[in-house]
Structures are given as structure tokens and as C-alpha cells.
Amino acid sequence: MALIVLDAGHGGENPGATYQGRQEKDDALQLVLAVGKILERNGQDVYYTRTTDVYESPAQKAAEANQAGADYFVSIHRNSSPYPNQYTGVESLVYNKYGSAARMARNINAELEKVGFANQGIQERPNLAVLCRTSMPAVLVEVGFINTDADNALLDSRFDEVAAAIAAGILESL
């Protein structure tokens, strides 16, 4: 059994990326709550950085995860691009491309690819607080582009499968 911190990106006064009234913070929270239920049903302990529409800084979220003694940290986001419908797919960000965080990122991306998202791979982002200030392996998952209609349609029409894919990618990595 592992303690997994699930972080719904943004929140409160910080909506994250927006598109035609849709807010990243809302999609992220819905996904985190659904993924968490699946992980709990599979015997994992889950700590949520938020379960409501509140804001904490990324540094605060990293500190919470460290204090909780988490085994893994998974932050859920939606990507955005300069122009609508410019890009599509899932991308995961990690501190570096080696080790258990990168393995988890690859597994999550592969599972989301099975649901229908283009797999844009993993990127090193050592400057992000939730990746560099966490003392456990940490992954930030960009679940499709919020300003790409096809990605939104896929997320909306297959939401349960998307949540199950994220959970499966996490569970495969434990």
C-alpha cells in the first residue's frame, strides 16, 4: 500500500487555463476525485491537496505532500496552447526523465493513449515547485488541451475511462 498525493491543479481565484467558459481548475478537481476513488478501491491511501475550489500555491502543496510522508505525488492539469485546436494529446512533466517518476509518467501517458489521446511524451521541468520541492517521485499530468475541442470531447465522453487510465498508470508503477 502506498500513500499517493493527488493534486488538482489551480483552484480558487486561480482558474488555470480557460476556454469558452471551461476552467482547468474544475476539470482537474473532477479528475482527481474520480482517480482517488479508484486508487482507494484498489487499497491505496490517498491524500488530496484539495477537494473543493480553493487555492494553495504549488510550494504549499509540495510542503503538504512532504509533511504527509507521501510515496508519490501526482498533479492533474489540462494543457493549453496559444491558439485553439493547435495541439492535441497528453503530456506528463517530471523533474528528470529517469527513475520512478518518469516510469509512472510513461505508464499514465500510455494508458491515456489507449483511451484515445495522442501521447506527447514526457518533458523534464526541474523548475516546477511540485516537481522540485517534493521529496517523493512527482508527476504532473497534462490531460489533453483545454482549448482543443477534440480533447474536450474525448474527456467529456469518456471521463470514467480517462480517470481509470490515470489510476491504472499509477497502480502499474507501484
CB atoms within 10 A of CB 41: 9
Active site residue 142: yes
The residue among 140, 121, 132, 127 whose CA lies nearest residue 76 is: 140
Query: Could you write out the three-class secondary structure of 102-167?
Result: HHHHHHHHHHHHHHCCCEEEEEECCCCHHHHCCCCCEEEEEEEECCCHHHHHHHHHCHHHHHHHHH
Catalytic member of 56, 142, 161, 172: 142
Task: Check residue 13 and report its DSSP letter.
Answer: T
CB atoms within 10 A of CB 148: 23
Please identify every residue annotated as catalytic.
142
